[in-house]
Amino acid sequence: MFETGLDVFLKKEYRKYQKLRLAFLCNQASVNVGLRHLSHLVTEKKYKLDVTCFLGPQHGIRGEKQDNMIESEDFIDPTTQLPVISLYSKTREPSNEVMDRFDVLLVDLQDIGTRIYTFMYTMANCMRAAKRTGKKIVVLDRPNPINGLDTEGHVLDTDFISFVGQFPMCVRHGMTMGELAYLFNETFGIRCDLEVIKMKGWKRAWFADNLKRIWIPPSPNIPTSQTALTFPGTVLFEGTNVSEGRGTTTPLEWVGAGYINPDHLAQHMNSLKLKGVYFRPVYFQPTYQKGKDQVCGGVQLHVLNRRLFKPYAAGVHLLASIKRLYPDKFEWKKPPYEYEYDKMPIDLIAGTSELREIIDAGHSLKDFLKEGEKQCAQFKKLRAKHLLYKSS
């Protein structure tokens, strides 16, 4: 039977922490098998836990902040009457004053398997604060929803470190949050006091729907597990004037702009014969962000075979195709992006300036993508000693 780290913690592991002051880094997806939220569970009298506060990542601990770069405020949780401290506000790393509130910080966040997602970096920032203040981090592990086998995309060039990429990892990393914590701690040198409470019954080849559990959106624009699968490619469009579907019912599966002819784009993309995906022409009208209140033409990525589908490669080809078809209207987004004010957003997202430079020059993507495959092979060797679960 499958159990998350939270499930395992609440069964027996909690007893080790009954005499310590605890805090939890969590959000709305931090629920147990019965869909009850962590904050309600760990404050039940039967567990006898001294919970002092909760910490929340980007989009808020309740997941109500729709758009990117929307900060959250601290508040008192009305149910538990405990303080909630935002780590996506004036600071993204807990201060010494916050760290003084507890002895152990337990992390229960659902990642989506892509380097360009801030939850793992909020965890890393907390790990650094724990090292600085002599506190302990305990990760309640959760599955990688797009499986723990496949990797894809270039390894981040450290010249482009940001809050959407702190470490030299490939775009699709194939790791769980607990495995990432060990990678950050041991290979990338944080060196805090760290423990991971492992899941039970998880297999690396599994996708989210193999778990037979209800999907809780870990952030507002990942409404389904299908969105997590297209995200490694469509997130690239955050660095352009093309909408990635934010402000619609199908964010990060729809891509388009007011200047795009959807039939022409879909025909072109399907002519590339990319494996496992079909590009369907669509029209949509975002309610906020890029293309707000405008009719946009574009495509929806339909994953027909997720074992063959390469989301990052699909995103790269789609990006280059729109630039090629609409050279006078396509634009790269200008800074700032995720608290970086000098470097191009697309370079921070891709983890390299090479993608932008190749597309601008109109060069073939073949060698670029092949180099990404080589880098992924090296990354898989690097991550191997941190993997906690068997392949089958």
Please indicate, yes or no, whether residues 33 and 178 belong to a single structural domain of this protein: yes
Of 199, 216, 233, the position where a domain reaches its end is: 216
Q: What is the pTM for the complete model shown? A: 0.96
Of 216, 240, 257, the position where a domain reaches its end is: 216
| Cβ atoms within 10 Å, residue 328 | 6
Please tell me the predicted confidence (pLDDT) of residue 70.
78
How many helices (DSSP H) and strands (DSSP E) are in the chain? 11, 10
Largest CA distance in the chain: 64
H-helix segments, 149-284: 177-182, 225-234, 262-271
Q: Does residue 382 belong to any structural domain of this protein?
A: no
What's the mean pLDDT in 183-192? 98
Structure tokens at 150: 């496949």
Q: Dump pLDDT digits (tens) for 207-237.
A: 999 999 999 999 999 999 999 999 999 999 9
Q: Dump pLDDT digits (tens) for 76-132.
A: 999 999 999 999 998 899 999 999 999 999 999 999 999 999 999 999 999 999 999
Please tell me the predicted confidence (pLDDT) of residue 380.
96
* Spatial distance between the Cα atoms of 336 and 356, rounded to a whole number of angstroms: 17
- 137 — phi, psi (to 5°)? -110, 135
CATH of the domain at 56: 3.40.50.12170
What does the CA dihedral 281, 287, 288, 293 come to, rounded to 10 degrees?
A: 80
Q: Does residue 389 belong to any structural domain of this protein?
A: no
Please tell me the predicted confidence (pLDDT) of residue 285.
98
Domain count, the chain: 2
Please tell me the predicted confidence (pLDDT) of residue 392.
65
Q: Does residue 386 belong to any structural domain of this protein?
A: no
Instruction: Tell me how far the alpha carbon of residue 255 is from its chain's centroid.
Output: 19
Q: Dump pLDDT digits (tens) for 22-48.
A: 999 999 999 999 999 999 999 999 999
Q: Dump pLDDT digits (tens) for 45-79.
A: 999 999 999 999 999 899 888 777 678 898 999 99
Q: 163 and 351 in contact (C-beta within 8 Å)?
A: no
Please indicate, yes or no, whether residues 206 and 284 belong to a single structural domain of this protein: no
Q: Does residue 387 belong to any structural domain of this protein?
A: no
- Parent domain of 187: 5-216
Please indicate, yes or no, whether residues 347 and 269 belong to a single structural domain of this protein: yes
Peptide bond before residue 143 is cis, with ω within 30 degrees of 0: no
Of 189, 216, 243, the position where a domain reaches its end is: 216
Please indicate, yes or no, whether residues 117 and 234 belong to a single structural domain of this protein: no
Q: Dump pLDDT digits (tens) for 140-164.
A: 999 999 999 999 999 999 999 999 9
Please indicate, yes or no, whether residues 112 and 75 belong to a single structural domain of this protein: yes
What's the mean pLDDT in 319-335? 98
pLDDT above 90 (res 245): yes
